[in-house]
Amino acid sequence: MQIELLVRVVAMFALVGLSVTVPGFALLRLLKLRWDPLEKLAGSVALSLILIYLWAFGAFLMELPRWTAYAVTLVILVAAAWSWPEARRMFAVRRVQTVIVPLALLALWVVALQALIRNYGGGEWCCDWLEHYQRTMNFVDPKPSGFLYIGRYLLPARPPLMNAVAAHFLNQLGDDFALYQVVFSLLNVLAFLPCCLVARLFVPGGVRHRGVLAVLLGTNPMFYMNATFAWTKLLSAFFVILAVWFLLVGARRNSASRLVAAFASLAAAAMVHYSALPYALFLSAAYLVVILRRQRRPLAQAAIAGGAVLAVVGPWFLWSIQNYGLAGTLATNTTVTESAKFAWHENLLKIGMNILDTIVPHWWTGVPAGAPLRRLIDPPFMLFQNNLLFAPGPVVSVLAAWGISRRLMSRRSPARPEEKRFWSLFIPFAIVVGIAVHGERDDSGVAHITLQPLVYMAIAYVAANVWHYSLVWRIALWMGTVVNLAVGVFLHLYLEHSVEAWARTPNWDWKADGKVTFLGDSMAGAAPLLALLIGVGALLALGWLWRVLTRAPAG
């Protein structure tokens, strides 16, 4: 059983890797865009995901049989052969190679961690992973229109892009929950790519060793949890961060293709998770108020960007409105349903309290009775996931806050005035509005809901500037990375691997009923070997990071 599953997991690596690069790359080759190689790689991934989504959603609407997914893969193989000469030139570029290797290692790392997890949870977290598995299975085997996912939500309560894309892969290699976990992990780690790009906004040339960024992300508790929890927020962050890159670089270079790509990315981000909407609102306003009037053909460009957005979001909303009505489409999301429970002044108070609790760290005290080990595991888990200052890691937060504030306020800063204005408005807007759109009152904070793009961009900022810090601060960064890994990742992984009563979180009932079999259950016999490999990998990564940080010049 383990060997058969392992073969399918390896095949899934190959299938996802091929499918999320080739379609977009082939189309970009036809368009002959003058993007640099790393930009073209990230854009190819984003465009491939959009194309696969449109195909998968169309196949769902037309009720096409499963075998048609194989036909798509065959077309992708033909496109790969056609694109190979140019692809080989792109992958021969040093800048691309230094991204591909860390990305591959990061994917292996996350899937290896996933293979030890037998129980999702921690703190107040519950069943979102199961809801998204049910939503994914809806695109494999459609459910009645009145079906309530995890007994609570209609289909329009969540956007469909990641679920439809995952269903496309599951249609080919099997739809059991273990493979679903692998697919979601592989899609989520793609957020590494735009982080490498935005690092170049902070320091010319970006990260000197992109492996530093990979280690900082791979040991970050928020990244670990969102890459393994099998839900959609991290892939949404991929599109948001990529949109920021395309918008700023497109504005700087007056590049219409990049500006259109920014809006296609924003539309895709919203179709992965509605938490992207505050970012879409700000970036759209920046484009319309500042950038558009500087373009040579503003009306034509705006029409093309709007057409790209409609191409991505239109099919879903048209179908949903037709089948669920306008109210069923727009008013079933938790932002609307939960906010409707409060009066307007209560909503203002709720927003203010959520902002306070998201920014000010506090020790979580909701540990269940009779679970003493949870007193050690749950409070730091909630800090790392829900608090904005702890989410990037405490040391990263200090370095990012100090560095960004100096970059924005210092007259000697290399940042352009318009980019200073952008970040000075973008960061507080994203924090305040991102928290405000959360419908519920959460006294543990809500950084994990809408603020993840900011968290990963803060990590990218520190990785880009790490050579400018003193040796003391670089050693502090290494020590913080060790603490993040030990307390935020490994300690929580111990809870998620355990099947003892003390570790059981509210989602346990779904597993106990036999509804799902985790990858960690299927690989339980190999758990000691996996734990050994993960431990050795962590030591090698930390040793390499120590060597790099202590030997690199500070200038």
Q: What angle do CA 384, 453, 265 make, to 5 degrees?
A: 150
Phi first, then psi: give them for residue 125, nearest 5 degrees: -70, 145
Q: How far apart are CA 309 and CA 106, in angstroms?
A: 31
Q: What percent of the chain is helix, strand and coil (3-state, nearest 5)?
A: 75, 0, 25
Query: Pseudo-torsion of CA 444, 446, 448, 451, nearest 10°?
Result: -140
**Are 213 and 220 a contacting pair, CB within 8 Å?**
no
pLDDT tens-digit map of 146-158? 899 988 899 999 9
| 270: Cα separation from own chain's centroid | 12
Q: How far apart are CA 393 and CA 290, in angstroms?
A: 34
Q: How far apart are CA 81 and CA 208, in angstroms?
A: 33
- % pLDDT > 90, the chain: 73
pLDDT tens-digit map of 292-320? 888 888 899 999 999 999 999 999 999 99
- Tokens coding 70: 């194989």
Is pTM beyond 0.85? Reply is: yes
Would the CA dihedral through 213, 218, 221, 224 be positive or negative? positive
Q: Residue 1: pLDDT above 60?
A: no
Average pLDDT for 524-551? 94
**Alpha helix segments (H runs only) across 410-450:** 417-436, 447-450
Q: How far apart are CA 228 and CA 221, in angstroms?
A: 11
- Classified as helix, coil or strand, 130 is helix
Instruction: Check residue 151 and give its pLDDT.
Output: 85
Q: Which distant-in-sequence residues (6+ apart) come within 8 Å of 327 by Cβ?
A: none
Q: DSSP letters of 460-479?
A: HHHHHHGGGS-HHHHHHHHH
* pLDDT band, very low/low/confident/very high, at 171 (cuts 50, 70, 90): very high
Average pLDDT for 516-536? 92
Which burial class, exposed, middle or buried, applies to 303 when counting CB atoms under 10 A from its CB (0-12, 13-18, 19+)? Answer: exposed
Q: Residue 522: pLDDT above 80?
A: yes
Instruction: Check residue 50 and give its pLDDT.
Output: 98
Q: Please count the structural domains in the chain.
A: 1
Q: Residue 555: pLDDT above 50?
A: no
* pLDDT band, very low/low/confident/very high, at 412 (cuts 50, 70, 90): confident
Q: Residue 204: pLDDT above 80?
A: no
Q: Residue 280: pLDDT above 50?
A: yes
Q: Which domain holds residue 392?
A: 2-551
Instruction: Check residue 449 and give its pLDDT.
Output: 92
Give the position of tokens 């734990």: 531
Q: How far apart are CA 171 and CA 61, in angstroms?
A: 15
Q: How far apart are CA 256 and CA 263, in angstroms?
A: 11
Nearest to 240 by CA among 271, 258, 266: 266
pLDDT tens-digit map of 223-238? 999 999 999 999 999 9
